[in-house]
Structure 1
Amino acid sequence: MSRNFGENHRVVVAMSGGVDSSAAAAVLKEQGYDPIGITLNLSCSARSADKGCCSASAAADARKVAHQLGFPHYTLNFKEKFKKLVIDNFVEEYQNGRTPNPCIRCNQFIKFDLLLKKARELGAEHVATGHYARIMTNVSRKAGSRIKDTNMESGQCPMSNEGKYKLLKGVDGRKDQSYVLYMLTQESLAHILFPLGGATKAEVRKIARNLKLPVAEKKESQEICFIEDDDYGRFLKETSLEAVKPGLILDRQGNKVGMHAGIAFYTIGQRKGIGAHGGKPKYVVEIFRDKNAIVIGDEKDLFRDELTAEEVSFVSGSRPTGPLEVTAKIRYNSPGAKAIIRWLGGLVVRVKFEKPQRAITPGQAVVFYAGEEVLGGGVIRG
């Protein structure tokens, strides 16, 4: 069914108390939308309860912005579901020697699933966030409106395929967040707005300053919201003894060369905490959960030209029928590399890179692009 702006312009804005989500709400308000601000209470420990994007102080900042801009604000308690869907998976992945990205699961299961359902209960057809990404569609959603004193568009652009949606990188290459949104579906994209997709960070700051929003100069948080001071080790010690069980450090030939403090403290490509062996710096090149062992090697041993990805999805909803040339990113800040993907059956693909890539890490996402467009992605398993 067509989602026409004139039929329902109420939108739930996920507000973290930061400048991006606050500016996103301001943009939508100026475009004529009817925002409802929602801050999610996701904290599950006393240490993290007063920090990050879901803390009490964040909710207070979001509430101030909503009051100033003239729309309602609510805080929703998603603690239990966040723990089950995001934190428990985070711990399990580390127990299995993998390095997860909890922000991706939060987007998939919390912001663009549970929050979208809550939005509908509130009579809203859309959820908006401050992500730097764009959606292409020819469905009218107040597309193309401009904000005074900026060259920013609403993040919605026309395309030729009726009723289809495409996910694009954000215009600001340094802030692009499309990597953590690859799992979005046609159904979810039909109900999502990214007002900042066509803006740079500088333009977003300018909007907040011009409106004298209380968060205009607020610094960005670089930490995972549920881990205080980014101390993974402490968090995992408190939640999973299995993940921090000491074990063997092996060389590439299987010889014991030392002991590690727990596989959760290591990731592929890591040098810190390994030390030098044979007079040369060594790196983690493999992690074996079943043996509770890590394998170290030289830097050259980190390079591989293939990987297998599971839980693969494509934004279009259609799988490739044959080999597909893409640009593949194996980590958030990766520039991407040319590759060919082949469907292996189920939700599994094989990715063959044109050139070997350094430190392909199980648990991280591999995301497929065609130019600016996000095609899809999956979780690296080997």
Structure 2
Amino acid sequence: MLARIYQNRYRAPKSSDASRPNPPGPLMTVSLNSLDIAKPPAATRVVAAMSGGVDSSVVAALLKRQGYDVVGVTLQLYDHGEAVHRAGACCAGQDIHDARRVAEAIGIPHYVLDYESRFRDAVIERFAESYLAGETPIPCVECNRTVKFRDLLGLARELGADALATGHYVASRDLGTGHRGLFRAADESRDQSYFLYATTQEQLDLLRFPLGGLDKVQTRALAAEFGLAIADKPDSQDICFVPNGRYAEVIERLKPGAARPGAIVHLDGRVLGEHEGVLRYTVGQRKGLGISGAEPLYVVALDAENARVIVGPREALSVSRVDLRDLNWIGDIALADLPPEGIEVAVRVRSTRAPREARLLADDKGVHVLLAQGEEGVSPGQACVIYDHAGSGARVLGGGVIMANRAPRPAPQPEPAYAIS
């Protein structure tokens, strides 16, 4: 439907337009990632995913400035009415308005697509189910993998686009094999490769990330130079549909009555207190446990099946082996061809941590990561992203979802040793 509307409203470039030179404009003060497409810009159609934020707006403006045939598309993903005035929201009311204003200012066609039902089914429902299973999911990964890259890429192809451009801080480059590779961004403090590990090779070949060589200061400076009203707009929060970080409230609204109360149990078997549902806890958590005592305690495991929160000392958090499920692999060597001893890689088990040395193994029982040094707070449901090395500019080889180790089964004791606060 949108393709037909687009064809009727917007003229594709004539062949004579494509032959004209594209002199650099005064705003092109930084080098950009090449789109690596064998066409002049005017003959290259690019769909720009516009969330209404600074990053995606600058991408659309830069591509327009370079002379590309740019079409802006914004996805309405959730409760646009409730989120109109909420700071830190994305893909909702105010952001849709901002994206529309930017598209008008830079002179490109702009469309808003209602993807609320897709987003609810593919992202929000799975988010709730994962928490109830004792995991700590990352909805941004699932959103990128499904709604944004799978569905939006399908639309880009329908429109005859040569590329889909986004405002992610990550880099992609031609590998010389007919495919593109995914790499960490130049600004490691903004690098978003952790959230894009599930990008498939087919998706990656069509995606472009023009901000991969910039930092946020440069991006905001460009937004100001372009005269975009959103130049000083705050960054959106990670989980767009969870206001103020109260994810338990969202889950209880989606799955009323699903949270089961249970016991807070020490690794040594002592019952220390009670909880109102494992969805309120995550591995590595120390605060808000509702127990007191001389020994600092952390959540070391969640036993959702038996509604138990298992706590222990900090040293019990250290993990040296991580088993993965739902693996997405975009490395050159097939997993089936890995040597028995595995290969040297680097991995991230949290988005806030730098890649660390590890060994990747694959056998008939699955895919495993052996960490060179133990990691704390490795939580089931989070991502383990695999890189070819731990340094800057590392290439993403893939990643998977961290599986839960078997929950400890301490022998319960009748007398709690800590008072419940």
| Fold-level similarity (TM above 0.5) | yes
**Cα distance in 2 between the residues matched to 1:209 and 1:45:** 27
Compare 357-366 and 335-344 and name the one that shifted more: 335-344
* Matches for 1:184-195 after TM superposition, within 5 Å: 184-195=199-210
In the alignment, structure 1 residue 133 sits paired with structure 2 residue 170: yes
The offset of 1:74, in angstroms, is 0.8
In the alignment, structure 1 residue 327 sits paired with structure 2 residue 349: no
Gaps of 5+ in 1: 138-158
* Matches for 1:161-172 after TM superposition, within 5 Å: 161-172=176-187
Report the aligned-residue RMSD: 1.8
Structure 1 contact 86–106 (Cα < 8 Å) conserved: yes
Task: Report the 3-state secondary structure (helix = DSSP H, G, I; strand = E; otherwise coil) of the residue aligned with 1:40.
Answer: strand
* Matches for 1:51-90 after TM superposition, within 5 Å: 51=86, 52-90=89-127
User: TM-score normalised to the size of structure 1?
Assistant: 0.89
Give me the identity figure in percent. 38
The offset of 1:245, in angstroms, is 2.2
In the alignment, structure 1 residue 351 sits paired with structure 2 residue 369: yes
Task: Work out which of the residue numbers 150, 171, 184 in structure 2 matches 1:113.
Answer: 150
Task: Work out which of the residue numbers 336, 354, 358 in structure 2 matches 1:339.
Answer: 358
User: TM-score normalised to the size of structure 2?
Assistant: 0.81
Structure having the larger proportion of residues in strand? 1
Distance 1:78 1:50, change over 3 A: farther
Structure 2 contact 103–110 (Cα < 8 Å) conserved: yes
**Cα distance in 2 between the residues matched to 1:296 and 1:27:** 51
**Cα distance in 2 between the residues matched to 1:44 and 1:86:** 14
Structure 1 contact 49–56 (Cα < 8 Å) conserved: yes
Q: Deviations over 1:249-271 (max 9, x none)?
A: 11102332110121111000001
Compare 315-324 and 52-61 and name the one that shifted more: 315-324
Match of 1:291 in 2: 306
**Cα distance in 1 between the residues matched to 2:317 and 2:178:** 44
Structure 1 contact 275–282 (Cα < 8 Å) conserved: no
Match of 1:364 in 2: 382
Compare 87-96 and 368-377 and name the one that shifted more: 368-377
In the alignment of these two chains, the number of paired residues is 358
* Matches for 1:1-382 after TM superposition, within 5 Å: 4-6=38-40, 8-44=43-79, 47-48=82-83, 51=86, 52-137=89-174, 159=175, 161-316=176-331, 318-319=334-335, 320-322=337-339, 323-345=342-364, 348-371=366-389, 372-382=394-404
**Cα distance in 2 between the residues matched to 1:230 and 1:364:** 17
Match of 2:10 in 1: none
Distance 1:46 1:26, change over 3 A: closer
Distance 1:330 1:24, change over 3 A: same
The offset of 1:216, in angstroms, is 0.4
- One-letter code aligned to 1:88: E
Structure 2 contact 299–312 (Cα < 8 Å) conserved: yes
- One-letter code aligned to 2:360: I
- One-letter code aligned to 1:355: Q
Match of 2:411 in 1: none
Compare 162-171 and 101-110 and name the one that shifted more: 162-171
Gaps of 5+ in 2: 1-35, 405-421
Task: Report the 3-state secondary structure (helix = DSSP H, G, I; strand = E; otherwise coil) of the residue aligned with 2:90.
Answer: helix
Give the number of the structure whose alpha-carbon radius of gyration is greater.
2
The offset of 1:316, in angstroms, is 3.3
Q: Deviations over 1:256-312 (max 9, x none)?
A: 211012111100000111145441121100101110111000111111111101111
Structure 2 contact 272–291 (Cα < 8 Å) conserved: no
Task: Report the 3-state secondary structure (helix = DSSP H, G, I; strand = E; otherwise coil) of the residue aligned with 1:64.
Answer: helix
Task: Report the 3-state secondary structure (helix = DSSP H, G, I; strand = E; otherwise coil) of the residue aligned with 1:356.
Answer: strand
**Cα distance in 1 between the residues matched to 2:90 and 2:81:** 15
Distance 1:223 1:378, change over 3 A: closer
**Cα distance in 1 between the residues matched to 2:80 and 2:297:** 36
Distance 1:242 1:301, change over 3 A: farther
